[in-house]
Structure 1
Amino acid sequence: MREQRDAGTCPAGNLPLELDAFVGRATELATLDGALREARLVTVTGVGGVGKSRLAGRAASRSAPRDGAWRVELAPVRDPEFVDYAVVEALGLADHTTRTPRETLLARLAGRELLLLLDGVEHLVDSCAGLVTDLLGRCPGLRVLAVGRRPLAVPGERLVPLAPLAEEDAVTLLSVRAAQHGVPVGRADDEVRELCRRLDGIPLAVELAAGRLDTLTPGQVLGRLDDRFRLLTGENRAALPRHRALRTAIGWSHELCTPGQRLLWARLSVFAGRFDLEAAEYVCSGGGLPADEVLDVLSALLAQSVLTREETPAGTRYRMLDTVRAYGAEWLEATGDAARLRRRHRDWYVGLVTWCELDWFSPRQPEVAARIEAELPNLRAALDHCLSDPDGAHLGQYLAGSLWFLWVGCGRLAEGRHWLDQAVRLDAERTAREQSRLKALWVLAYVAILQGDPVSARAALRECREEAERARNPLAVAYAVHRTGCLALVTDDMVGAEALLRSALERYRELGELNSNVLMAQVELAMTRAFRGDLADAVRLCEDVRRVCDGHGERWARVYALYVLAYAAWSDGDAAGARRLLSVCLVDAHRFRDLLGSVLSLELLALVTVTEGEAAEAAVLQGAAARIWPAVGLPLFGSAHYNAPHELCEATAREHLGDERYQECVRRGARLCREEAVARALRRPPEPAALPGPRGAVRPATAPGT
């Protein structure tokens, strides 16, 4: 899974590496470089396939702002509401709070100096224009480079229209791309030059032609292109020549495909973003295309540059350029088969999520996280399809609830809240007692608890339990009781939390339920025992969780068990043991993008560090944690129990450093991005003269004792 940066201060950005040669465009690149120096909003416009994205990516990589250049791919975004989410995701600004994505962006980009590359704005112009206006108005260090077929029409926008390639550059591009297919092409060949002229120098059209030169000569390609020109230009004589040339090139490539290749091209258009072979075989097979032939047909489309192949942390993925996908979608609609294909797409991702939820509780947890991250655009498309289909309400609720491990375990609480809120409102009367809606309710409550929204959490849990009891659904009741105990825990009701969590665990045992959620219930019970002064019982409970996690290869729930064990080790005077445990916690939580697990580990590492005699380093870590908390929710849940170690660390550090130096160290830590903070926390400090460590737990001033 690709690690994402937390606040955009680490300079690398997220621009993809260029995998093939950048050809020509020296003048246009210089013009775009100059525009980016002079204006805060620059939009590259031009016909689809003219090379806007490639040019903008090259210019962005040369811009080198202090906090990086960040690309947001908007082509897979279908809902205007998701523009803000897409930007938050691309920047890695994981936010667990109830703030809107716009509020998150405004808060976290203030004071940053970065370039935001919005790629593919033409179908989302109004949403993008509103976002850009807000961001540029309140984030003075931000510059925006937009890419689309039309401008945003925002005040201060500088337009850079991109024309097709000059003839020499087009010939060079054809030669270079043909060479990648093992075909030498003479640049002085008259037929090659005529071909590039007839394609109007549009890079996508040239690349499609290059993909055919392994089976056809330039003259044969040119002859077939002439036929398609005569056929297609009659459709709309008022269209610009370059628009006709692009459609002609794509249509010509389509015409050269076999019937099976055309069919697969059309069917693949239902995917949003990248997809893998298994998905293509399931979704696109049948009705004239057997599943065992999909691979060969897909390989042919790949060879013809209709598809591109990418290696990702989740394995091999394929994708279509947006223009090529749109052409296929038109053909799919014309066949009358679009609705069936969208249902098959939905069914595949319902099945995938079912498998991933089961496999989350296994040694494959990191692979599941990577897979589900890679599938996000398609999952969103499936959710949107379910929630907009009157007959798909239960499936939408099932998907939103079953993805709890993505929302909670992989740092996507805000997006999860968006889908869950929609799901539980959808046809509530008809689906009130269905398992899918009850699950969506307790998952919504879980998300709301972690976001610091107890009011919404209580309402969802009350409804879930009442409907589950009416429907005689003991599993949903158990989850409702569990999450009610979790809510009591973070609001300092330790007596109520312990009773509820014990009841939930007993219900789980009776039902034979064992998974990451059940283990978390036991960890939460251990926290109540620790907060009530019984560290020995807390250790016993978490050692049992650790044993089960190790036996099943579970790493996410283990983070929280090790956190409690680390606290117990520190309380017993074993700072070195606590540090070892917390290092494992931090590595795993960071790998899953679990901000809560990460920030709790940092807080406790700060306390361990001050105990080891490194007061300045402890203050730096507290500053780093303070920067992350706003993205999680209320710092330390506003809980006296969770806050006690923080207060002890701060008091000890202030005593050794003095107020002025303590604040200076905290400010230094607050300048660290999440990756830098994690790396620093994992770096073992020098061995100073250690401060005396505690024997027994820290006691908050307003609680019975921790």
Structure 2
Amino acid sequence: MLTPEYAPYLMRRSQRPDDRRNDSSARSRGCPPVPGNLPAELTAFVGRTAELAALRTALVSARLVTVTGVGGVGKSRLAARVAAEIGPRDGAWLVELAQVRDPELVEHAVASALDLTDHTRRSPRQVLLDRLAGRELLLIVDGFEHLVDATASLVRDLLLRCPGLRVLAAGRRPLDTTGERVMPLAPMPEQDAAELFTDRAASCLPGFAPAGRDRADVLELCRRLDGIPLALELAAGRLRALSPGQLLARLDDRFRLLAGAPRDVPPRHQTLRTAIGWSHELCTARERLLWARLSVFSGPFDLEAVEYVCSGDGLHADDVLDVLDELLAQSVVSREESPTGVRYRMLDTVRAYGAEWLEAAGDAARMRRRHRDWYMGLATWCELDWFSPRQAEVATLVECELPNLRAALEFCLTDPEETHLGQYLAGTLWFCWVGCGRLAEGRHWLDRAVELDGAHEDSRLKALWVLGYVAILQGDTVPALCALQECQDTAERTGSAVATAYAVHRLGCLALVTDDMPRAERLLRTALEQYRQLGELNSNVLMGQVELAMALAFQGALGDAVELCEDVRRVCEDHGERWALAYALYVLGYAAWTRGEQGHARDLVTRCLDLDHAFHDLLGTVLAVELLALFTVSEGDAAEAAVLQGVAARIWPSVGLPLFGSEHFGGPHALCEARARQRLGDEGYEWYVRAGTELAPDVAVSRALRRQRVAAESRRPGRGEAALPPQAPETREPAASPTTRGGETAG
């Protein structure tokens, strides 16, 4: 799906690896994350003393407080400031819904913001209810007004079921749900508005300190702009070219020019539109053109995307950077740092204004297609780069680009002429859905895609086998079988050898997790031979080898399984592949343990866990934890093994059916449990398992990666707190040990 015109932009991206920062290293070092995700303040917070105090007080007496007001009045900034000051035990978490268009994705967006990964067929709402039930946190829901019904329904359920949760909402209207405390936010008073204007003006005009006539003009500007922060900041950005008096004179003209809004439109909406429209009028023709075209982006975007999507027809690609820089100077666009480097963002109100101009120019459909083309190319490039040393960077990049990828998917799947491209895009992102822990969202898009009739059979076939793969990993075997069988039948009828190979491969994977090892071996061998004939070599092919190795190991052919996984290991090291490598290390670790090489086995599986956790791959993570529990009990530490089994028990509900309901995959767990129960007794074993379930996933993985042992004296059930790492966040104090009485150790 790549065209020659993509090459210059995407090649530039691939040649700049140092510009991207991968945040997975912190996880791999075992550093517990700071609770919450509030962004750092990049500009001074000015005024609002009374509002801050009122909002803090409201949050003490009410569990749901909604700050309402006109767009640009400062609702989001006020909410974030108060949330940062309150700092509940489990953190303050911001959910931005302005870029979410589908009500069905509200729950996905909240789960994503809270970093809750779940691979099951459970709804994201159920995952949220389960995972937040015992936590004390503040959820900030911002920009929900276009999704008010879906947001209100979710917030209502969360508050009913999660007693430690408080919600601070910021939008243009209330949620209108039981128990809501509404706090209307008025524009800034004159003095605060003048202080804000002066502060922002000084950032573009160093030393700006209005006095005399300039001071009077600034106060008049603040009055005429009704003290709306966004309007003030837009106006302040123009001081690099105009004096306060000139600003005031031009503002008079623009008010008259943009008058005539319907009577039922709130006055402050008219005022904000006037401010934005005035800023738009002061832009050059090229700046207005870029402003309108930037409105097709959803969420942050980077320079390469702007240069491709927005150039042409009056704006040469070489001039885009200069024009973008002018929009940055005027605060029409903001700059932000991200794990992938510098990115840009438009406030939603500013974006909506540009979108109106784009529609009026009759260019909206063409620009949305160019936006779709860019992100189709990006997804294709990332799929190729997934099998490379840049795999971790691809994972980080896709995370940043999700809002725009979602917008491209939505565009394709709502236009009958674009259906085949939506199917292609949903299938091409398999590495995001499977490799980066987004199975539930992938299932959402894939289900939608395959329900539609596309013009190109190959695109639908790819969506079908990816849907089957996702469903298998979710433990949803019937839909998986239906999708894969349809894919195989259609591929054989139409002569699509590639789709046939992938369908056979995933049918083999389905047989593997349902304990039909002879069938799994036959299908996987067939698929691998088909891949060889087609010249396919990628992460999927390597996973096919690992899955075949599992089928062989379960049938007793451990030597053949090791040979296959060692081959996978060599190929991964040659190509820089890490995701498939983790699964090969899992098999090799189990083989080393069976040979009595316990230290080597632990090293292999600990590295497997490190890789899986970095990619947010919950399936690989929980399988590695199960194996480490077996190794630990074999080393004589039954208490720590039981804790690890408790950790796994907490993770499995977010993956699917524990151990796929498979006797073969469940073998290490059963053996570990039997040995641990024998040494600890039933009550002691159950107590340590419960202690493990109290560990938050990141803390638990850090514990396993550090390979810290609980000291021998503190392992006994009588020293219950020793089952948890000292001062570990995201934990609760365990219940009293079953073998203690009155604070003394029994026996």
TM-score relative to the length of structure 2:
0.89
Residue 179 of structure 1: SS of its match in structure 2? helix
- Aligned partner of 2:427: which letter? G
Is 1:21 aligned to residue 47 of structure 2? no
Q: Take 1:612 and 1:181, find their aligned partners in 2: how far apart are those partners?
A: 64
Q: Take 1:238 and 1:678, find their aligned partners in 2: how far apart are those partners?
A: 56
Is 1:210 aligned to residue 233 of structure 2? no
1:653 corresponds to: 676
Instruction: Point out the more displaced range, 46-55 or 77-86.
Output: 77-86
Residue 43 of structure 1: SS of its match in structure 2? strand
Is 1:340 aligned to residue 327 of structure 2? no
**1:220-619 equivalences in 2 (<5 Å):** 220-236=246-262, 239-427=265-453, 431=456, 434-619=457-642
- Aligned partner of 1:593: which letter? H
Q: Take 1:687 and 1:47, find their aligned partners in 2: how far apart are those partners?
A: 56
1:695 corresponds to: none
1:703 corresponds to: none
Q: Take 2:476 and 2:293, find their aligned partners in 1: how far apart are those partners?
A: 43
What is the CA-CA distance between 1:571 and the residue it aligns to? 1.1
Q: Take 1:608 and 1:550, find their aligned partners in 2: how far apart are those partners?
A: 26
Q: Take 2:61 and 2:488, find their aligned partners in 1: how far apart are those partners?
A: 59
1:367-393 residue CA offsets vs partner (Å, 9 max, x unmatched): 111111111011111001111111111
1:98-142 residue CA offsets vs partner (Å, 9 max, x unmatched): 112222222222222221111001111111111112222222222
What is the CA-CA distance between 1:179 and the residue it aligns to? 2.0
Alignment RMSD, CA only? 1.6
1:189-245 residue CA offsets vs partner (Å, 9 max, x unmatched): 111211112111111111111211122111111111111112223334664443232
Say if 1:110 and 1:418 are closer, same or farther in 2 by CA, change over 3 A: same
Q: Take 1:600 and 1:129, find their aligned partners in 2: how far apart are those partners?
A: 37
Q: Is the 8 A contact 2:111 2:128 kept in 1?
A: yes
- Aligned partner of 2:614: which letter? R
- Aligned partner of 2:243: which letter? T
1:108 corresponds to: 131
Q: Take 1:98 and 1:684, find their aligned partners in 2: how far apart are those partners?
A: 33
Q: Is the 8 A contact 2:335 2:344 kept in 1?
A: yes
1:56 corresponds to: 79
What is the CA-CA distance between 1:687 and the residue it aligns to? 9.8
Q: Is the 8 A contact 2:468 2:506 kept in 1?
A: yes
Instruction: Point out the more displaced range, 650-659 or 359-368.
Output: 650-659
Instruction: Point out the more displaced range, 327-336 or 17-26.
Output: 17-26
Q: Take 2:371 and 2:283, find their aligned partners in 1: how far apart are those partners?
A: 24
Q: Take 1:220 and 1:132, find their aligned partners in 2: how far apart are those partners?
A: 47
What is the CA-CA distance between 1:295 and the residue it aligns to? 0.7
Q: Take 2:385 and 2:551, find their aligned partners in 1: how far apart are those partners?
A: 29
Q: Take 1:493 and 1:289, find their aligned partners in 2: how far apart are those partners?
A: 60
What is the CA-CA distance between 1:71 and the residue it aligns to? 0.8
Q: Is the 8 A contact 1:44 1:161 kept in 2?
A: yes
2:733 corresponds to: none
2:111 corresponds to: 88
Q: Take 2:496 and 2:177, find their aligned partners in 1: how far apart are those partners?
A: 54
2:96 corresponds to: 73
Q: Take 1:377 and 1:347, find their aligned partners in 2: how far apart are those partners?
A: 15
What is the CA-CA distance between 1:48 and the residue it aligns to? 0.4
Residue 658 of structure 1: SS of its match in structure 2? helix
Is 1:134 aligned to residue 160 of structure 2? no
Q: Is the 8 A contact 2:95 2:109 kept in 1?
A: yes
- Aligned partner of 2:632: which letter? T
Q: Take 1:205 and 1:127, find their aligned partners in 2: how far apart are those partners?
A: 30
- Aligned partner of 2:418: which letter? G
1:699 corresponds to: none
Structure 2 residue aligned with 1:151, among 174, 198, 212?
174
Q: Take 1:241 and 1:103, find their aligned partners in 2: how far apart are those partners?
A: 41
Structure 1 residue aligned with 2:225, among 192, 199, 202?
199
Q: Take 2:285 and 2:564, find their aligned partners in 1: how far apart are those partners?
A: 62
Q: Is the 8 A contact 1:10 1:68 kept in 2?
A: no
Q: Is the 8 A contact 2:640 2:709 kept in 1?
A: no
- Aligned partner of 1:296: which letter? D
Q: Is the 8 A contact 1:69 1:114 kept in 2?
A: yes
1:696 corresponds to: none
Q: Take 2:265 and 2:145, find their aligned partners in 1: how far apart are those partners?
A: 18
Is 1:166 aligned to residue 189 of structure 2? yes
Q: Take 1:635 and 1:623, find their aligned partners in 2: how far apart are those partners?
A: 12
Q: Is the 8 A contact 1:545 1:561 kept in 2?
A: yes
Q: Is the 8 A contact 2:205 2:239 kept in 1?
A: no
Residue 117 of structure 1: SS of its match in structure 2? strand
Q: Gaps spanning 5+ residues in structure 1: where?
A: 690-706
Q: Take 1:438 and 1:288, find their aligned partners in 2: how far apart are those partners?
A: 40
Q: Identity of paired residues, percent?
A: 70
Instruction: Point out the more displaced range, 175-184 or 393-402.
Output: 175-184
- Aligned partner of 2:296: which letter? V
Q: Is the 8 A contact 2:261 2:270 kept in 1?
A: no
Is 1:180 aligned to residue 206 of structure 2? no
Instruction: Point out the more displaced range, 224-233 or 150-159.
Output: 224-233
- Aligned partner of 1:554: which letter? E
1:429-464 residue CA offsets vs partner (Å, 9 max, x unmatched): x55xx1111111110000000000110111111111
TM-score relative to the length of structure 1:
0.94
Aligned length, in residue pairs: 683
1:43-67 residue CA offsets vs partner (Å, 9 max, x unmatched): 0000000000000011111222222
- Aligned partner of 1:380: which letter? R
